[in-house]
């Protein structure tokens, strides 16, 4: 085993320890929280299906990318709607479409900000950041209030 392998293994072990003491959700945990919500939505008309939004401002999720903080982890981007972004005043993401995004992210390979290929899995932590950004905001909970699904965020350690 080369020195770089020892270093990478030590970093991975340290990250796993930090994550085990964190409320931050992984892709697999996010998927498990979404499944029962989606099941309750299946009988609804398209217009009545719950939308997904973040717990801050008028932000909605956009797409997944490699997180710049650690390319081997995933970030879910966001954009503002409502009066913050009048062109997207009535924009929304339906939970039935959002769960497909999460399912497709598992096993998907993403390119890191400065290169490299990184395949995400069910144990990959989910951050909140647009491509090229990092920060310490992670998804920690999913709330279903019937007509919308709220992605709860918090400061998370890397």
Write out pLDDT tens, residues 26-65. 999 999 999 999 999 888 888 889 999 999 988 999 999 9
CA 4, CA 113: separation in Å to the nearest integer?
21
Tell me how many domains the chain contains: 1
| Closest CA relative to residue 34, chosen from 144, 120, 138, 153 | 144
**What predicted TM-score, i.e. pTM, was given to this entire model?**
0.90
Q: What is the pLDDT of residues 65-120, one digit of tens each?
A: 999 999 999 999 999 987 766 666 566 899 999 999 999 999 999 999 999 999 99
Q: Is residue 126 part of a domain?
A: yes
Please indicate, yes or no, if residue 13 is contained in any of the structural domains. Answer: no
The secondary structure of 132-150 as a DSSP string is T---SEEEEEEEE-SSEEE
In a domain, 36, yes or no: yes
Other residues' Cβ atoms within 10 Å of the Cβ of residue 106: 18
């Amino acid at each position: 085993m080369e020195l770089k392998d020892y270093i990478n293994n030590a970093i991975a072990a340290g990250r796993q320890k930090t994550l085990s003491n964190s409320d931050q959700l992984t892709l697999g945990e996010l998927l498990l929280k979404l499944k029962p919500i989606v099941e309750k939505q299946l009988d609804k008309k398209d217009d009545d299906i719950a939308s997904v939004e973040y717990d801050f401002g008028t932000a909605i999720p956009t797409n997944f990318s490699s997180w710049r903080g650690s390319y081997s982890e995933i970030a879910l981007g966001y954009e503002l709607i409502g009066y913050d972004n009048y062109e997207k005043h009535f924009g929304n993401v339906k939970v039935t479409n959002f769960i497909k995004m999460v399912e497709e992210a598992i096993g998907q390979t993403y390119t890191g900000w400065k290169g490299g290929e990184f395949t995400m899995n069910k144990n990959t932590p989910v951050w909140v950041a647009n491509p090229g950004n990092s920060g310490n905001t992670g998804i920690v909970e999913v709330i279903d209030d019937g007509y919308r699904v709220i992605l709860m965020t918090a400061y998370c350690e890397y």
